[in-house]
Amino acid sequence: MKTFDIPIFYRSPVITKIKNSRKISDPRKKDYSPTVLDFGPVQFLIARHFGFCYGVENAIEISYKAVEENPDKRIFLLSEMIHNPEVNNDLIRRGVRFIMETNGKQIIPWNELTPNDIVIIPAFGTTLEIEEKLASIGIDPLRYNSTCPFVEKVWNRAETLGMQDYTIIVHGKYTHEETKATFSHSKENAPTMIVRDMEETKKLGDYILGKISLEEFNEFFKERLSEGFDPLTDFIKIGVVNQTTMLATETQAIADYLRNVMLQKYGEENIKNHFADTRDTLCYATHDNQRATLGLLEEQADIAIVVGGYNSSNTSHIVELCEEKLPTYFISSDEKILSENLITHFNFHTQKELATKDFLPRNNPARIILTSGASCPDSIVDDVLQKLLSYYPGSKSVEEVIRNFN
């Protein structure tokens, strides 16, 4: 797989050494068990897969290349390049400005842009409408296009299915940039709708099987249907694609449920003519990170620390998995660990930050799960590990513990 040229300060000598060791010992990624770093009074369980994925490193390389190649031009990002504050803030310090917030709210009006400006498409991609807007200004929207190749794979599959008269069901969050982009690309070739979760999918299934009325369907999904969508004719053939940062298991469960709905309606002998198998569009990195999280949770641990941007969808799903088993603290950096007795962390359910006292386990040895989202630099995870370690007197040094990871 291609390697990317990203700033060295995003790397971590500790985490990188562990990851490289696991790649050598498990090149085919069959072992999802964690790496255990035993410092004596505290043990860290490090996930088999976490941190920057292929798409994120690709986006970082392109963004920094844009800055380097255009020292005398204004440089803009459509919105956050990835959902990590450290990375986005570093680009801001280098003069990059954001055109929109992640929710789509305009920060810089389109009429302030000129043909001489540089605009970077973020890793999530963007809509065809925005590409056309940039082109009308005289800006090449694809010159610095950092859209994740796996997102583009989803778009390509949706296009192929649309040309075969399938309707596309997008599993994603309605307001997420990637879902908006996928919806925009998909609707050019196929009737397209968005479902957020299994609950909404069951509502769709009820309509297909005639259990709810057309009026109830239209009222429930009215904001999530492509223009001209006809529920009376557009559910004869369907395929499911997803926002790549959603839980892969949830997307698969939604696809399996809808396949069963089509089985009930059309029978096993006709299923291939009514339901498309799209399992190959699930993002490998999201799948690996989530499988690695489940591998972590098979081990005995006291708490979990998950590091990442608070608006990162894939990170919130890792938090969600960990919360099912043990106390979990979602933090953006080591600065959220205020002392050995106090941590501020994010509750993604309420979208609020809160403080917890006496969060550190004091049994001997304490066992702490440590992982991060796909947009979090390894250096930040390293900082968190080092700070937590400082609260356990008598621990072995980092150098001693990682000596075997050569």
Give the pLDDT of the chain (406 residues) as one tens digit per residue: 567 788 888 888 888 889 888 888 888 888 999 999 999 999 999 999 999 888 999 999 999 999 999 999 999 999 988 888 889 999 999 999 999 998 889 999 999 999 999 999 999 999 999 999 999 999 999 999 999 999 999 999 999 999 999 999 999 999 999 999 999 999 999 999 999 999 999 999 999 999 999 999 999 999 899 999 999 999 999 999 999 988 888 999 999 999 999 999 999 999 999 999 998 888 888 888 889 999 999 999 999 999 999 988 889 999 999 999 999 999 999 999 999 999 999 999 999 999 999 999 999 999 999 999 989 999 999 999 999 999 999 999 999 998 876 5
Rounded Cα gap, residues 290 and 250, in angstroms:
11
DSSP state of 9: G
Instruction: Tell me, rounded to whole angstroms, the distance of Cα 293 from its chain centroid.
Output: 14
Q: What is the pLDDT at residue 111?
A: 96
List domains and CATH numbers for the chain: 8-53+285-404 (3.40.1010.20), 54-145 (3.40.50.11270), 150-282 (3.40.1010.20)
Rounded Cα gap, residues 329 and 305, in angstroms:
5
Q: What is the pLDDT at residue 1?
A: 58
Q: Do you know the residue count of the chain?
A: 406
Instruction: Tell me, rounded to whole angstroms, the distance of Cα 304 from its chain centroid.
Output: 19
DSSP state of 1: -
Give the alpha-carbon dihedral of 347, 15, 280, 4, to 10 degrees.
Answer: 110
Rounded Cα gap, residues 100 and 107, in angstroms:
5
How many angstroms separate the most distant Cα atoms in the chain?
69
DSSP 90-130: HHHHTT-EESB-TTS-BSS-GGG--TT-EEEEPTT---HHH
Q: Comparing C-alpha atoms, which of 152, 157, 168, 154 is closest to residue 226?
A: 168
- Do 353 and 347 meet the contact criterion of CB atoms below 8 Å apart? yes
- Do 244 and 286 meet the contact criterion of CB atoms below 8 Å apart? yes
Q: Comparing C-alpha atoms, which of 328, 331, 342 is closest to residue 383?
A: 331
CA atoms within 13 A on the CB side of 318: 39
Burial label for 3, CB within 10 Å (0-12, 13-18, 19+), is exposed
Q: What is the pLDDT at residue 248?
A: 84
Q: What is the pLDDT at residue 405?
A: 67
Within 10 A of 333 (CB to CB), how many other CB atoms are there?
A: 20
Tokens of 307: 């590091």
Instruction: Tell me, rounded to whole angstroms, the distance of Cα 368 from its chain centroid.
Output: 23
Place of tokens 């929109």: 100
- Do 305 and 331 meet the contact criterion of CB atoms below 8 Å apart? yes
Q: Which residues does the annotation mark as catalytic?
A: 178
Strands 42-46 and 144-145 come out as unpaired
Helix-strand-coil percent breakdown of the chain, rounded to 5? 45, 15, 40
Per DSSP, what are the bridge partners of residue 97?
76
What angle do the packed helices 54-69 and 85-93 form, to 10 degrees?
Answer: 10
Rounded Cα gap, residues 106 and 11, in angstroms:
33
Tokens of 334: 């080591």
DSSP state of 280: G
Which residues, at least 6 apart from 179, have a Cβ–Cβ distance to it below 8 Å?
170, 172, 173, 194, 243
Burial label for 266, CB within 10 Å (0-12, 13-18, 19+), is middle
What end-to-end distance do the CA atoms of the chain give, in Å?
21
Rounded Cα gap, residues 242 and 250, in angstroms:
10
- Helix spans in 138-247 (H): 149-163, 177-186, 198-208, 214-221
